Structure 1
Amino acid sequence: MVLGVDVSHASPGVESPSMASMVMSIDQNACRYAAAVETNGYKVEMLTRANINKFLDRLLPAFRKGTTIHQPQHVYYFRDGVSEGQFAQVIEYEVNEMKERLRVDGVVPKFTVIVATKRHHIRFFPDRSCADKNGNPLPGTLVERDVTHPFHWDFYLCSHLAIQGTARPVHYHVILDEANCQPNELQRMIYEQCYMYARSTTAVSLHPAVYYAHLASSRARAHDSVPQGGSDDAGYGSRALAGSGDVRDSAPLRPMGAEEDAHRDNIVFFPGTMWYI
Structure 2
Amino acid sequence: MILGYDVHHAGPGGGGMSIGAMTATFNASLGRCYSTVARLPSREEVATCVGQMFEKCLAAYKDKNNCYPDRIMMYRNGVGEGQLNDVFTQELQGFQARINAAYENQPNKPKLTYIVVNKRISTRFFEVAGRNLNNPKPGFVDDIVTRPERYDIFLISPTARQGCVSPTYYNVLFDESGLDADKIQRFTFKLCHLYYNWSGTVAVPGPCQNAHKLAFLVGTALKRPASAKLAYLMHFL
Q: Please tell me the TM-score bracket, short chain as reference.
A: 0.7 to 0.9
Amino-acid identity (%): 28
Matched, 1:100 2:97: yes
Report the CA distance shift for 1:173/1:15 in structure 2 as closer, same or farther (over 3 A).
same
Larger Rg belongs to: 1
SS in 1 for 2:231: helix
* Structure-2 residue corresponding to 1:122: 123
Matching of residues 81-160 of structure 1 within 5 Å: 81-106=78-103, 107=106, 108-128=109-129, 135-139=134-138, 141-160=139-158
8 Å CA contact retained: 2:137, 2:159? yes
Matched, 1:211 2:209: yes
Separation in 2 of the partners of 1:48 and 1:185?
Answer: 30
Q: Which runs of 4+ in 1 moved over 4 A?
A: 12-15
SS in 1 for 2:193: helix
Residue segments in structure 1 that go unaligned for 5+ positions in a row: 225-252, 258-266
SS in 1 for 2:134: coil
8 Å CA contact retained: 1:111, 1:179? yes
8 Å CA contact retained: 1:38, 1:220? no
Deviations 1:6-52 (Å, cap 9, x if unpaired)?
11223379752211011101211222222111211111112233x53
Deviations 1:28-78 (Å, cap 9, x if unpaired)?
1222222111211111112233x532x235433432354x25112221111
Report the CA distance shift for 1:31/1:10 in structure 2 as closer, same or farther (over 3 A).
same
Matching of residues 134-213 of structure 1 within 5 Å: 135-139=134-138, 141-213=139-211
* Structure-1 residue corresponding to 2:234: 274
The size of the alignment, in residue pairs, is 231
Scaled by the length of structure 1, what TM-score is found?
Answer: 0.76
Separation in 2 of the partners of 1:210 and 1:14?
Answer: 22
* Structure-1 residue corresponding to 2:17: 17
Question: Greater strand percent: which structure?
Answer: 2
SS in 2 for 1:175: strand
Residue segments in structure 2 that go unaligned for 5+ positions in a row: none
* Structure-2 residue corresponding to 1:40: 40
Scaled by the length of structure 2, what TM-score is found?
Answer: 0.87
Q: Which amino acid aligns with 1:161?
A: T
Q: Which amino acid aligns with 2:163?
A: G
Separation in 1 of the partners of 2:149 and 2:95?
Answer: 27
Q: CA deviation at 1:191?
A: 1.0
SS in 2 for 1:112: strand
SS in 1 for 2:218: helix
